Structures are given as structure tokens and as C-alpha cells.
Amino acid sequence: MNATPLVSPEPLPSVDALIGGLAQHGFSVQANGVPPDVARSLINYISRVGADAFHEATVGRGEEQQQNRFVRRDRIHWIDERNPELACWQDWTESLRLEVNRRLFLGLFSFESHLAHYRSGDFYRTHVDAFRGEANRIVSLVCYLNENWSEDDGGELVLYTDLGPVVVAPAYGTVAMFLSEEIPHEVKPARRDRFSITGWFRLNTSSPDRVDPPR
């Protein structure tokens, strides 16, 4: 598989690079896109909560929610956005939400996120980040937290874009942002423990008879 090298070079500011790629291509990938203090706070949090805080991921929502190890085998930990330990993450994603709205007029209303742990052999087959019958996830954001990651470690994110497949190594500090409903993607099997945080900027689709939950 050939990768399309669209990792934004320095010294473009992280936010400018991310939003520019999203506007032009529907996706953006940037090395060293996570502010160092944000990445370190996430790693420290993972170390503190430990493996027991992660649980087997599911597919679907509501009555259709189920574990399906043919589709995905990662373990996840949902982020409580009120947790003061993760104020750096909350502040950064909120500033990103506001800037995307200002520049692209997407009307993003809220943000939800979870940490993901892929053990050796874990994967996530091709999918889109949208639930059937719903259209509230608009922009996906993935940030990688793996120091000293090598090509032999696997675990690549593959974005299937109109420009061809874009292969993203889950190296420390790398950020991928893409349109949730328009970019199918998968995670190739990892060969060592692989950590990331994934979030979604959302619209508010509440109605008089239904409150749109954050997740």
C-alpha cells in the first residue's frame, strides 16, 4: 500500500496546519501536533489509572451495542471532561473546536473522547466514525502517545481518502484530524502496546422528545 505523504511540515503552527488540511482535503496529519504539556499530561494519566481502567471496546450504540472481536479488539477508557487532571487536554481541544468553527463554520457544539489501548495483535477494521441513523459526529481527532515507535511496531492508522490511502504511523505527538462520516479508516495490527486518544467534535442533534447524549 502506498502512503500519501501529507504530514504538515514545521514551522506551520499546529492549529493552522490541521485546519488547513481539513478544509482542503477533508483530513490533516501533522507530526508533533500535540502540545508537549498536553501529551505529557495524558501519558501521566494513563500511568496513574493503569490497565484496569480500560475495558473492551464495542461497536454500535443503544440496543445494537455489542462486542465484536472480528471488527475491533482495542480497549478503551472514556474521558471525564470535568477531570482536572486533564485540563490541558480539555483546554486544547476546546480552543481547537472554537477555531474550526471560526474558520470553517461547522457549528461544532461539543467534544467527547476516549483513550485507546491496542495490545500486540489488536486491530480495528475499516469503518467510519458515525452511528447508523445519526449525524452528530462531524470531525474526528486522533493523537498518538507512543514514544520510540518504529516501523516494525505496526499499528498504523490508514485513512482511505479521495487522494488514495494515507498511512499514519502512531508515533509520539502525531495528530490526525478528518471528517468523521466521509473518511473510512482502519487500524492495522499492533506489535507492541499502542496508546492514543481519540475524540469527536459533534453537533447538537437534540429535539423536543430526545436529548442528544454526549456519547
Which whole-number Å values give the CA distances from 184 to 46, 49, 103, 113, 129, in the listed order?
28, 31, 24, 19, 8
Partner residues linked to 17 by β-bridges: none
**Which residue in 135, 138, 145, 88 sits closest to 112, CA to CA?**
138
pTM: 0.86
Distance between CA 145 and CA 89 in Å, rounded? 13
Radius of gyration of the chain (CA): 16
**Which residue in 120, 150, 165, 123 sits closest to 29, CA to CA?**
165
Per-residue pLDDT of the chain (215 residues; tens, 9 = 90+): 554 444 444 434 578 889 999 999 999 999 999 999 999 999 999 999 998 999 999 875 555 566 677 789 999 999 998 899 999 999 999 999 999 999 999 999 999 999 999 999 999 999 998 765 566 899 999 999 999 999 999 999 999 999 999 999 999 999 999 999 999 999 999 999 999 999 999 997 554 455 555 55
- Return the ∠ at Cα 110 (arms to 32 and 81), rounded to 5°: 70
Buried b (16+ CB within 10 A) or exposed e, 42-65: beebbeeeeeeebeebebeeeeee
The whole-number pLDDT of residue 81 equals 85
DSSP 57-88: --BS-GGG-B--TTTB--EEEE--TT-GGGHH
The whole-number pLDDT of residue 147 equals 95
Question: Residue 165 corresponds to which cell in the numbers above?
Answer: 490511502
Q: Give φ, ψ of 87 to 5 degrees.
A: -60, -35
Q: Provide CB contacts within 8 A for 201, sequence distance 6+.
A: 96, 97, 100, 106, 108, 110, 111, 137, 138, 139, 140, 141
Partner residues linked to 145 by β-bridges: none
Question: Residue 105 corresponds to which cell in the numbers above?
Answer: 463554520
Q: Which position has the grid cell 451495542?
A: 65
The whole-number pLDDT of residue 208 equals 47
